[in-house]
Structure 1
Amino acid sequence: MGGLKAAAAAAKDADTSAAYEYCLQLARERFRSFPVGLRFMAGSTRRHVAALYAFIRIADDFADEPEFEGSRVQRLEDWGRQFWDLGQAPPQHPVFLALGRTLSELSLPREPFAQILSAFQQDCAKTRYETEAELLDYCRRAAEPVGRLVLMIHGYRDEELFKLSDKMCAALQLASLLQDLGCDLRRDRLYIPQEDLKAFSYTEADLRMGVVNERYRDLIKTQWKRARALFEEGRDLPKRLSWPLNWEVRLAWLGGMELLRKVHKLGYDVLSRRASISAWDWTGLVLKALAKR
C-alpha cells in the first residue's frame, strides 16, 4: 500500500509540475516584462508568481477579448467558482491545479483574489465612473491586490509595504487606463470620472469625435497628474525590498513613469496615437533598474 500511495503522490506532483509549466508559458507569452523578471526569481517563487499571473490573465481575457462577447459574465462566474472550489473539489483547469498548490504552500488569503475577480466582473457591468473616488475604488480591487499578493509570495507581510505597493499599483493602473483610452472607448468603457469631464466642459461626444483642444489636454493632464502623484507616493517601495524583488518592482515603477513620459511627449493626445514603450525602451529601463540594485 505504501508503494501505491507514493506512486499516486508522484503522479499528482507530476501533474502539478505540468500545471505550473502551463502558467509559466502563459506568462512568458502574454506579459512583456515578465520573462526578464523570471531569470532572477528562485524556482519556487517563479512558479507561484506565474500561477498568480495566469489566473489574472485568463480572467482579464474573459472581461476584454472580443471572442468572449456574450459570455463574459458566465465565464467569470465559472472562473470564480473554480477558484472557490479549491480544496473542496479536484481542479478542472491547470491554472487552478497550480494555484491550489500555491495557496496551500504559502498560506495566501483568498480575499485579494476575490477583489481582483470583482473588478473584472465590474468591467462587464459598469462602464462609467462618476467621481475620482469611484475610479480609485476600482483600482483598489483591480490592481492593489496584485501587488500585495506578489509581496506575500516573496515573503513580505508588512502593512507599511502593502500601503506603498497600493500606491504604486494604483498608479500603474491609471497609467494603463490612459494608454488604453481609445481602445476602452471602443468597448464603450470610459475610465475618466464624469466630474472631471464636467469640470473642463468637455463631453464624451467630444471624445468620440476625437476633439483635441485645450479643454481636452487639461482633462488628460489631470488624469496624468493623478497617476504621477501616486507613483511618487509609492517610489520608495523598491528601497524596502531585497533582491531580486527590489529590481523587479523598480523596473515596474520605471516602466510606469516612462509610459507617463510618453503621454506627456504626445502632448497628452492619447486619442490620436497610443502611447507605448518599445522593446528598445524596455532594454534601457532594465539596465537602469539593474544599475540601482
Structure 2
Amino acid sequence: MNFAPSTVADAYRQCTALARSHYENFPVASRLLPRSLRDPVAAIYAFARHADDLADEGDLCADERMAALQAFRRKLRLAAEGRPPTEEPVFIALADTIERHALPPELLGALLDAFIQDVHKRRYADFGEVMDYCRRSANPVGRLLLHLAGQATPENLSHSDAVCSALQLINFCQDLHEDYALRGRLYLPLDELQRFGVAPEDIGARRNSPGLRHLMQHQYERADRLLRAGAPLGRALSGRMGLEVRAIIVGGARILHRLREQSDDVFTRPRLNVADRLAILRGAFFPSRGN
C-alpha cells in the first residue's frame, strides 16, 4: 500500500476519534487492549460504524441504501487488495490493518451482508433465523479480534461466537422499542411472540403486558446461557487481550442484570452506572470461575 506513514497515522487517528465519540455499553478500542491493537480495532469499528449508518441513518430510501452499501463493498474489496480510495481515511486504515495482520476480508464482508440484510428484512420467523443474522452481524467482530491477537484457534473461535451472539441478543433486548419504532425492525422470533401471546403492535405501543415480560425474561435467560458458554474465552486469553474480553463479558452480564431489574418496563434502555463499571473492572482483573 503506497501511502505516506503520516497519512496512515492520520487515518487511524480519525478512526479512533470516531470510536470514542459514540457511546457504547461495551468497550471499544479501550485502554485495556494492547497498544498495538488499539488502532486496528478502531479501524474495524469505524468501518462497521459507517456501514451501519448507511443501513440506518438519514432519509435514504431502501434502494439508495442498497446502492450505498454496494459501493461500500467495492471500497472494501479495493482495501483488501491494498488499493483503498485515497480520500477515505477509514479504508486507508482498514487496508493497513488487513495487510499488517493478514485479516480474512470475508469476515468484513460478512458484516456488510448483515447491514444489507437490515435494509430489506424486518422480521425473523424463529430463533434459527436470528442466530443466522448474529453469525454475520456480531460473530465476525470477535473472530477479527482473535485474528488480530494471533489467537484464532477453533476453541477460541467457538467461544467467541457464543459471546458475540449473546451480546447481539442483549442489544436486541435493550433496543427493542427503538428498532421497531424508528426502523420497523423486530429481532424477536415471531414464533416465540405467538407462544407468549404478544403481538408486534404491543412493542410499537410500549405495552408492558405480562406476556411480553415473560417473553423478554426468556430472551434474557437465553442470552445469559450463551454468554456463560463463551466465558472461558476470557480465561483462555492472556495479558491485555484477556482483560478486554473479560471486561466485555462482564459488561454484557451487567446489562442483563439491569434489564432483569426493570422487568416492569422492558422498553427502557439501561445505562451502566459507576458501580457497574467498577464491577466490570473487578471482573476483568480478578475473574471468578464463571468469567
Alignment-mate amino acid for residue 215 of structure 2: L
Aligned partner of 1:85 among 59, 78, 81: 78
The structure with higher relative contact order (CA 8 Å, sep 6+) is 2
| Matches of 1:127 and 1:152, distance apart in 2 | 32
Alignment-mate amino acid for residue 183 of structure 1: E
Q: Which runs of structure 2 are paired with 1:112-151 in the superposition (5 Å)?
A: 112-151=107-146
Query: Which stretches in structure 1 are left out of the alignment for 5+ residues?
Result: 1-7
TM-score (structure 2 length as normaliser): 0.90
Pairing 1:43–2:35 present: yes
Pairing 1:291–2:283 present: no
| Matches of 1:184 and 1:276, distance apart in 2 | 17
Pairing 1:102–2:97 present: yes
Query: Which stretches in structure 2 are left out of the alignment for 5+ residues?
Result: none
Q: Which runs of structure 2 are paired with 1:1-293 in the superposition (5 Å)?
A: 12-30=4-22, 32=24, 38-66=30-58, 68=60, 71-86=64-79, 87=81, 89-91=83-85, 92-186=87-181, 187-267=183-263, 269-271=265-267, 273-292=268-287
Q: How many residues align?
A: 284
CA-atom RMSD in angstroms: 2.2
| Matches of 1:42 and 1:214, distance apart in 2 | 46
TM-score (structure 1 length as normaliser): 0.90
DSSP 3-state at the match of 1:211 = coil
DSSP 3-state at the match of 2:33 = coil
* 1:28–1:35 CA contact under 8 A, matched in 2: no
| Matches of 1:251 and 1:85, distance apart in 2 | 34
Change (3 A) 1:37 1:53: closer
Q: Which runs of 4+ in 1 moved over 6 A?
A: 33-36
Change (3 A) 1:40 1:193: closer
* 1:27–1:34 CA contact under 8 A, matched in 2: no
Q: For each residue in 1:132-160, what CA deviation from the matched residue of structure 2 results, as whole angstroms up to 9, or x when unmatched?
A: 00000000100001000011111112011
| Matches of 2:204 and 2:217, distance apart in 1 | 18
Determine which structure has more spread, i.e. the larger CA radius of gyration.
Answer: 1
Give percent identity, aligned residues only: 36
Alignment-mate amino acid for residue 116 of structure 1: L
Alignment-mate amino acid for residue 281 of structure 1: D
